[in-house]
Amino acid sequence: MSNYHIKHLEEYYQVYRKSVREPENFWGEVAEEHFLWRKKWDNVLSWDFEKPEVKWFEGAQLNITENCIDRHLLTRGEKTAIIFEPNNPEEEAQHITYHQLHERVCQLANVLKDQGVKKGDRVCIYLPMIPELSIALLACARIGAVHSVVFAGFSATALSTRINDSDCKLVITSDGSYRGSKSIDLKGIVDEGLEDCPGVKTVLVVKRTNTDINMKEGRDKWLQPLLENAYLDCVPEIMDAEDPLFILYTSGSTGKPKGMVHTTAGYLVYTAYTFKNVFQYTENDVYWCTADIGWITGHSYIVYGPLANGATTLMFEGVPSYPDFGRFWEIVEKHKVNQFYTAPTAIRALAKQNIAFAENHDLSSLKVLGSVGEPINEEAWHWYNDVIGKKNSPIVDTWWQTETGGIMITPIPYVTPTKPTYATLPFIGIQPALMDEQGKELKGNQVEGRLCIKFPWPGMARTIWGNHDRYKDTYFSAFPNKYFSGDGALRDEVGYYRITGRVDDVIIVSGHNLGTAPIEDAINEHPAVAESAIVGFPHDIKGNALYGYVILKETGESRNHDNLRNEINQIITEHIGPIAKLDKIQFTSGLPKTRSGKIMRRILRKIASRDMSNLGDTSTLLNPEVVEEIKDNVL
Ligand code: PRX
């Protein structure tokens, strides 16, 4: 029996049971039947969550681009691999066939080699959502270079921190980017960031906006002329199963961003297998994930998962509101999209618009609707289900993380009965556990606790770049021998999971993970600021928005507060990016602290959410009086 494409609930349970009882046989069979190996593995899995060390398909050799491109050439050479829908609807869409993708990836791979990039070197990619972005990931993978994509909405400082952390020697960027009616000076941001990155010797620049930019002599090169002179074929580098494929940064609750390292074979097998089942992709479907490739969703479910299945994957350069709020639905109609995967924040924003934007378009091609990145509230779920899916396209609410590499808890469409706001059942091979705060596993149904995973899965990140101790501390220390996700969840009476949100100091704003510490560090750089604390509060489109409590130094107390608020948000934009801007900033004389000096964020969160009940016993605080002051002045 091929376990690759699950089609009924019975089959799900059967395959799930097998995947849990005999994980090695199960994943070994999936890997054997559906991928191209240069050498087979000696051992399907070895693991130790204490170290932690996890190895899948050890001893195997492969190149992921052979799996995503070359092996399709014979049967799908003329099939569209990537549809590119530009920001401006007047600009023609591009259809890149597998054959053309092969040529373009090989050409860029050859250019990278000519520029001295070798297996194991890190390459930073800072590009908008244009085909060159997908091609750049694949070109790195072709030659065994480790890509580190930085979302092109991040600031110069955020970019340079990431480049330095992983010691990238080359950056691929573009002159500019289009986002709705705006054009952004991407190269200017790169120039500024690179002032702090002595290790970067080469910058390859894609021409996209034809903006007049500064090209630094000896460092910056236009990509196009180099591509024109490059060979159309490039022999793939043969990689070991556990060789790193990419680094992708995610925010932590403390300190600098964590460079999650994903390796080659397990990531390929897991993203391909989840893609096939979670979207029930069949040949000739057109699949569209609206995420940016700067995030894990784009890596796994725009590039690697779909291409490994020979799918047609759509890339959209623009935003849902340009030229108007009908754009997503216009694209669905235009390209006859069958599977559509987006974030609750986009759904909420679109649901607020005139219903005609959706109703004016033929959405009958849709078969599966996906949601990812944050909890989807009931209202948004129903709107998605009724208005977009016309009640006959199942919603897959997919829970997973940068660290997990692929989808972990999800319905399988047409297989698992859905339930609004529930991610439902663990995916094949995934063994969740809910833990109480004392570290005891909560067995049975109708329980709520911290969401952990008990057993390795092929797509999991293997380490944090350059900091294995932090990897262990963050994910494997809270609950021994388990991976701890940082999320809370409940399991209902039938065993369905519902994710309740982060239980640490990560705040999800519009589906983006933001750590409180880096934002507070940025704010504290302002000369008038003495101390600050950030919390999240509910927002009807973004899910959460940020609320800052700021203590001013004496020098700042007489300053105009609106000006200060603007300056603080300006600093945040420079250090992190506009996504981390605060919606509300309350100036205060103090922050509630425990006697050991720890900020009581729980109290601040409640006040910011205007939930003044149950603040708990504040009398044991170091400074209980400040709670009253904060309550009185809440914004
Ligand atoms: O809190 C969970 C939330 O997003 C976090 C992971 O963020 P990131 O690493 O950026 O990856 C996002 C895309 C995979 C999780 O810890 N999250 C993700 N999906 C869901 C979710 N929360 C609720 N429901 C989801 N479906």
Whether ipTM > 0.95 holds is: yes
Using only C-alpha atoms, the chain has a radius of gyration, in whole angstroms, of 24
**Cβ of 486 less than 6 Å from ligand 1:** yes
**Cβ of 374 less than 6 Å from ligand 1:** yes
CB 88 within 8 A of CB 138: no
**Cβ of 357 less than 6 Å from ligand 1:** no
38-60: string of b/e by CB count within 10 Å (b at 16+)? eeebeebbeeebeebebbbbeeb
User: pLDDT by residue (tens digit) across 489-504?
Assistant: 999 999 999 999 999 8
Residue 552: strand pairing partners: 529
Ranges of H-type helices in 279-359: 296-298, 305-308, 327-335, 344-351, 356-359
Distance 3 CA to ligand 1 centre (A): 27
The 10 Å Cβ neighbour count of residue 447 is 15
CB 620 within 8 A of CB 595: yes
**Cβ of 498 less than 6 Å from ligand 1:** no
CB 627 within 8 A of CB 618: yes
Distance 401 CA to ligand 1 centre (A): 5
Distance CA 120, CA 90 (A): 41
Collapsed DSSP state (helix, strand, coil) of residue 475: helix
Task: Tell me the pLDDT band of 594, cut-offs 50, 70 and 90.
Answer: confident
Residue nearest to ligand 1 atom 26, measured at CA: 399
Distance 542 CA to ligand 1 centre (A): 14
User: Average pLDDT, stretch 50-55?
Assistant: 98
Query: What letter would DSSP give residue 599?
Result: B
Helical (H) or strand (E) element with 75? helix 73-76
**Cβ of 296 less than 6 Å from ligand 1:** yes
Q: Give me the sign of the Cα torsion angle 58, 59, 60, 64.
A: positive
Q: Judge whether residue 2 has pLDDT over 70.
A: no
User: Average pLDDT, stretch 586-604?
Assistant: 90
Collapsed DSSP state (helix, strand, coil) of residue 610: coil
Ligand 1 atom at shortest distance from the alpha carbon of 513: 10
Strand runs (DSSP E) across 32-121, as ranges?
A: 43-48, 53-58, 61-62, 80-85, 94-97
What is the structure's pLDDT at 439?
95
What is the structure's pLDDT at 1?
44
Helical (H) or strand (E) element with 19? helix 9-21
Distance 447 CA to ligand 1 centre (A): 21
**Cβ of 113 less than 6 Å from ligand 1:** no
Structural tokens at position 350: 């679109």
Phi, psi of 381 (to 5 degrees): -60, -45
Residue among 478, 571, 468, 465 nearest 522 (CA): 571
Residue among 331, 307, 336 nearest 320 (CA): 331
**Cβ of 487 less than 6 Å from ligand 1:** yes
Distance 502 CA to ligand 1 centre (A): 9
DSSP per-residue letters across 477-531:
SSSTTSEEEEEEEEE-TTS-EEEEEESSSEEEETTEEEEHHHHHHHHHTSTTEEE
Ligand 1 atom at shortest distance from the alpha carbon of 407: 14
Collapsed DSSP state (helix, strand, coil) of residue 92: coil
**Is cis: bond before 432, omega within 30 of 0?**
no
**Cβ of 506 less than 6 Å from ligand 1:** no
User: pLDDT by residue (tens digit) across 306-321?
Assistant: 999 999 999 999 999 9
User: Average pLDDT, stretch 400-413?
Assistant: 98
More confident residue, 614 or 444: 444
Which mutation among 149, 400, 490, 497 tests ligand 1's pocket best, with the greatest number of atoms within 8 A of CB?
Answer: 400
**Cβ of 504 less than 6 Å from ligand 1:** no
191-227: string of b/e by CB count within 10 Å (b at 16+)? bbbbeebeebebbbbbebbebebeeeeeebbebeebb
**Cβ of 277 less than 6 Å from ligand 1:** no
- What percentage of the chain exceeds 90 in pLDDT? 93
Task: Give pTM, 2 decimals.
Answer: 0.95
User: Average pLDDT, stretch 192-212?
Assistant: 97
User: Average pLDDT, stretch 329-358?
Assistant: 97
Phi, psi of 614 (to 5 degrees): 50, 45
CB proximity list for 241: less than 8 A, separation 6 or greater:
41, 55, 56, 57, 58, 59, 60, 61, 62, 263, 264, 265, 266
Over the chain, what is the mean pLDDT? 96
CB proximity list for 296: less than 8 A, separation 6 or greater:
248, 250, 400, 401, 402, 405
What is the β-pairing status of strands 146-149 and 170-174? unpaired
Residue nearest to ligand 1 atom 24, measured at CA: 375
Distance CA 153, CA 619 (A): 43
